[in-house]
Amino acid sequence: MDVRKGDRGGSIIGLLVTLALIGYGVYVGFQYVPQYIESATVDTVLHGLLDTHRKEPMTDIRTVQAALDKQLYINDMGDMKNHFSIVPMNGNYIVTARYERDLDLLFTTKRLAHEKSVTLD
């Protein structure tokens, strides 16, 4: 086996770069995964509200608010209550969730805006 002196260090540098990239991916992933789960839970709340409306139509904004509060309680998202709005429109209700989360990328922070809505008609 003929190994030259100049060839020995290249594999260690490559290994360190690879480990740094994997570590960075894990760091970002640890922040992104909870945001993904939160987004999926907001979808569950909105779809649960729509299912409730289909079973028993809601005719006033207080009933919609009570059903939304119940869905938030069931999904353990009471702290998100202020991020939901209910707007009456042409006899229907539009329920919208708007919120922002920060994703720290070490050298910069990226603000992720989320907006999802459902129409109860």
pLDDT at 63 over 90: yes
Residue 14 lies in a domain: yes
Can you tell me the mean pLDDT for 67-88?
A: 94
The answer as to whether 2 is a domain residue is no
pLDDT confidence band for 11 (50 / 70 / 90): confident
* Helix-, strand-, coil-residue percentages of the chain, each rounded to 5: 55, 25, 15
Find the domain containing 29 and state its range: 7-120
17-26: average pLDDT: 94
Is 44 within a domain? yes
Per-residue pLDDT, 106: 87
For residue 1, tell me if it sits in a domain: no
Among candidate residues 84, 96, 88, the one with its CA nearest the CA of residue 121: 88
**18 burial class (0-12, 13-18, 19+ CB within 10 angstroms)?**
exposed
Residue type, 82: N
| pLDDT band (50, 70, 90) for residue 91 | confident
pTM, rounded to two decimals? 0.78
